[in-house]
Amino acid sequence: MPPHPPAGQIPVWDRFVRLFHWGVVALVATAFLSEDAKSLHIAAGYGVLALVAARLVWGFVGTRHARFADFVTRPRTILAYLRDLRGGHARRYLGHNPAGGAMVVLLLALLLGTAGTGWLSETDRFFGDDLVSGIHAALANLLMVAIGLHVAGVLVSSLLHGENLVRAMITGRKPASVARQPEHEDRTAAGPRLHPR
Ligand code: HEM
Ligand code: HEM
């Protein structure tokens, strides 16, 4: 992230969040495609475990929109957001919106659960245990469903507000305002600038 982003652009996703995201995408894809190539599968799975562990720490000490406090909200807030979304007037957030934040928590939990049970299935204690392998496979399937919903959510949100959220996860920056910013100004847009790290 350059020290001075272009005018009208706000740094939102720091370098760690972006590396984490695309790193996880690459490793999870590798894990799914390498079920039969065990050492590659296991290496990719351990990589996921390491990235998620680092992300959990970053959720407490990272930059503004990377912190859990910025996007983990009460169920009531998530439901209200989903109602607004259905009515076509969900407000724009610079960081994760309340539903997106809930999905991030679910994705992190499923990543941890899938890679964790994969690791357990390789320990002396649980090697060859059908239950652990079964849970590993079931969590991997749930993860796949959650990823589908996550990508759908990203597309819906991008279309609704006329902004490219995928590009933002690459460059780290979002426009301060967008064409379709229904009803409310984004209260975070006018807030203090994030200091790039
Ligand atoms: C293996 C598949 C994927 C996983 C496990 C995954 C997981 C995640 C996680 C955990 C976050 C939160 C980032 C953070 O705060 O650290 C996130 C955000 C995001 N992901 Fe993914 N992701 C996946 C695939 C994708 C794909 C294919 C796309 C592109 C279409 C995508 C686009 C995004 C975007 C745009 C955000 C930011 C959302 C926002 O603006 O609130 N993800 N993803
Ligand atoms: C997010 C990371 C991971 C994903 C998405 C993933 C996904 C999968 C999937 C889809 C299968 C096939 C299940 C079936 O039989 O239908 C599988 C099998 C397996 N995985 Fe993973 N895995 C991950 C991490 C790991 C890790 C970290 C390890 C070990 C250290 C591991 C070890 C295994 C083993 C040994 C099998 C085959 C035997 C069995 O069914 O238990 N996986 N994994």
The answer, yes or no, to whether any atom of ligand 2 lies below 6 A from the CB of 28, is: yes
Residue 165 Cα to ligand 1 middle (Å): 9
73 located within any domain? yes
pLDDT value at residue 178 = 79
Ranges of beta strands (E only) in the chain are: 9-11, 173-175
Average pLDDT of the chain is 90
Segment 137-190, tens digit of pLDDT: 999 999 999 999 999 999 999 999 999 999 999 999 999 887 666 544 444 443
Q: What is the pLDDT of residue 184?
A: 44
Residue of 32, 34, 35, 39 to test ligand 2 pocket, by largest number of atoms within 8 Å of CB:
35
The whole-number pLDDT of residue 88 equals: 86
In terms of C-beta density within 10 A (0-12 exposed, 13-18 middle, 19 or more buried), how is residue 13 classed? buried
Higher pLDDT, 66 or 182: 66
155 occurs within a structural domain: yes
| Residue 95, domain member (yes or no) | yes
Whether residue 184 is contained in a domain is answered as: no
pLDDT at 41 over 90: yes
- Which residues constitute the domain of residue 152? 9-175
The pLDDT assigned to 149 comes to 98
Tokens for 187?
Answer: 């209260």
147 touches ligand 1 (CB under 6 Å): yes
Q: How confident is the model at residue 7 (pLDDT cuts 50, 70, 90)?
A: confident
CATH number of the domain enclosing 134: 1.20.950.20
Domain contains 104? yes
CB distance 53 to ligand 1 below 6 Å: no
Index of the ligand 2 atom closest to the CA of residue 111:
1
pLDDT given for residue 2 in this prediction: 52
Residue given tokens 């679910």 in the structure block: 106
Tell me how far apart the alpha carbons of residues 91 and 82 are, in angstroms, rounded to a whole number. Answer: 11
User: Which ligand has the shortest distance to the CA of 152?
Assistant: 1
Nearest residue by C-alpha to atom 16 in ligand 2: 137
User: Is any ligand 1 atom within 6 A of the Cβ of residue 165?
Assistant: yes
- Does residue 188 form part of some domain? no
Q: Which atom of ligand 1 is nearest to the CA of 143?
A: 5
pLDDT-based confidence at 194, cuts 50/70/90?
very low
Q: Is the pLDDT score of 103 beyond 90?
A: yes
- Please count the structural domains in the chain: 1
CA of residue 156 to ligand 2 center, whole Å: 31
Q: Which residue has the tokens 């994969």?
A: 118
Q: Is the CB of 132 under 6 A from ligand 2?
A: no
Compare 42 and 181 and report the one with higher pLDDT: 42
Closest C-alpha among 64, 75, 61 to residue 105: 75
Q: What percent of the chain has pLDDT over 70?
A: 88
In this structure, is residue 140 part of a structural domain?
A: yes
| Residue 193 lies inside a defined structural domain of this protein | no
| CA nearest to 10, candidates 19, 23, 1, 21 | 1
